[in-house]
Amino acid sequence: MYSSMSTTRLEQVAAGGQDRVPSAAMNRSLSAQSRLNPSVEFLKESRKLLYRRIPFIASSGMSRQFETVLRTVASQSRLSDLSLAGKDTDELTSLSLSKLDLEELGKEIFAQEVVTAPLLLAVLVAVISQFLNGYNTGVMNAPEAVVFPGHSLMEWSLVVSAFAIGGPFGALIGGFCANRNGRAGALVICSWIFLVGGLLLALAPSISVLVLARFIVGLASGFSS
């Protein structure tokens, strides 16, 4: 009955009938078929999104596990459509086993979590920005005796407070940048901002450049928080 109804609907659409919108079941079937045979580019883009949007997991074979989950979810959608269409029992049985594979895969992922060198490096890179945050908060105290002479109290106060002025702006754009470019991409951007600000601090020829440098490192500190 389902097949005859689908055929009739297709004939109506082909003949230019009023009902030109495919049924929900047909949409599910088409989407499931496209997921069952993903292109190479689709898998590449999916892998990129995986590493950008989810937390770092120290698990071996992460890419393989992700592709397995992708195909398993697609097969579950296909299974619901085949059951409605009355397909062969053997095909339904083989697809239903994928649900068990998905459950076993979840257990396997949690069982394989270990501390690895790449994980430790990623954590170190992520937390070092907080060290830079604290460092830049009080870094101007040490060179005060050398840099301050010849400048007014207002100029020196502006140099010190420029760090706090840049912080809120960095905090505002940090979350947006992380959602757009991923956490790893946001860390890279933050590191470059810290690098530019640090170079300007070290090479500043005047108070105005020093104020700008302090604002930039404040921006990076707010970004990292």
Domain ranges (residues) in the chain: 2-111, 117-224
List phi, psi (to 5°) of 27. -60, -40
Stated pTM of the model:
0.48
Q: What is the mean pLDDT of each run of 10 residues along the chain (225 residues)?
A: 42 43 44 49 64 51 58 57 50 49 52 68 81 80 70 81 90 86 84 90 86 91 86
Residues 6 or more apart whose CB falls under 8 angstroms from that of 217 comprise 132, 136, 163, 166, 193, 194, 197, 198, 201
Q: What is the pLDDT of residue 185?
A: 84
Taking residue 142's Cβ as centre, other Cβ atoms within 10 Å add up to: 9
For 121, the token pair is 């490096």
Q: What is the pLDDT of residue 219?
A: 92
Distance CA 223, CA 218 (A): 8
Pick the CATH number of 117-224 from 2.60.40.10, 1.10.3720.10, 3.40.50.720, 1.20.1250.20: 1.20.1250.20
Torsion, Cα 216 219 223 225, to 10 degrees, reads 110
Q: What is the pLDDT of residue 2?
A: 40
